[in-house]
Amino acid sequence: MLLQELMAGGDARAARVYETIGTCLGYALLDYRQFYEFGHLLLLGRVTTGAGGDLIANRAREAMQAEDPAAAASVTFHTVPEREKRHGQAVAAASLPAIKA
């Protein structure tokens, strides 16, 4: 919560933390694509709340674009309303596809 408060107050240090998280996420997604086929990413969790969450998503896209433009173009980032981001596990569970026997 402190990081979000600092970000809301315009603290440049907080912005750099969010930028770092986003850059790491972008490179991690490129690594995951070596093992998993995916075209959609649902960003959840309290860390994605507020302006910091937008910064994370934007930096992740930028990192992917810089390293592999085709991969970046093939992944769509999705978010949920601000209130629901804090309930990430429940939203993730509710969004899982049904497994047909």
- pLDDT score at 88: 66
pLDDT band of 71, cuts 50, 70, 90: very high
Q: What is the pLDDT of residues 76-98, one digit of tens each?
A: 999 888 777 666 667 777 777 77
Range list of β-strands (E), 7-98: 40-42, 76-78
Residues 9-59 have pLDDT tens digits of: 999 999 999 999 999 999 999 999 999 999 999 888 888 888 999 999 999
Residues recorded for the chain:
101
For position 86, what pLDDT does the model report? 66
Measured between alpha carbons, how far is 68 from 91 in angstroms, rounded to an integer? 29
Per-residue confidence (pLDDT) for residue 10, from 0 to 100: 94
Query: Higher confidence at residue 98 or residue 8?
Result: 8
Cα 87 to Cα 80: distance, rounded to the nearest angstrom: 10
Non-local (6+) Cβ contacts of 98 within 8 A are none
